[in-house]
Amino acid sequence: MSVASPILVDTSVWVDFFSRSPGVAGAELRRLIADAEPVVLTGIVVTEILQGLVRDAKKVEAFLAQWEILEPQGFATYVIAAETFRLARSQGLTLTTVDVLITALALENQATLFTLDRDFARLAPHVPLKLYWRL
């Protein structure tokens, strides 16, 4: 299955990918990479991955450096993030600032979000967020 839009891979999937015993999500990310699908990252995700490492940080850093980084497009990115946070809260959902920033970057770039984080699945019915991975 080829995906036309960029696939923004969330920290949860990368953690599975790098684990000693990867699960289904880690295996799917390996397939996406092998098939040269349009995998992308954000700076927030890179930071979360690297700050959680206890070994091989430089090796992982070099590995992650090969993918495009989605950058905030300016003030509007943060407005979208805040609006998403308020909308989620009005629907009884509590999201982190990191999650709404990732959502804003995905929305701005028409990216499909590949995640294991159930908060995104709860958010998706309320915003036009495309999810690659449904839990």
Q: How many structural domains comprise the chain?
A: 1
Which CATH number is 108's domain given?
A: 3.40.50.1010
In single-letter form, the type of residue at position 39 comes to V
Is 17 among the domain residues?
yes
List the domain range (segments joined by +) for residue 125. Answer: 7-131
Rounded mean pLDDT of 72-91?
A: 97
- Give the number of other Cβ atoms within 10 Å of residue 11's Cβ: 22
Q: What is the pLDDT of residues 43-71, one digit of tens each?
A: 999 999 999 888 899 999 999 999 999 99
| C-alpha pair distances (Å), 96 with each of 61, 86, 112 | 25, 11, 19
Is 2 among the domain residues?
no
- Token reading at 52: 């959680």
Q: How many angstroms separate the CA atoms of 46 and 51, rounded?
A: 8
Q: What is the pLDDT of residues 99-109, one digit of tens each?
A: 999 999 999 99
Is 78 among the domain residues?
yes
User: What's this model's pTM, rounded to 2 decimal places?
Assistant: 0.92
Instruction: Using a pLDDT cut of 70, give the percent of the chain over it.
Output: 96
Q: Give yes or no for residue 1 having a pLDDT over 70.
A: no
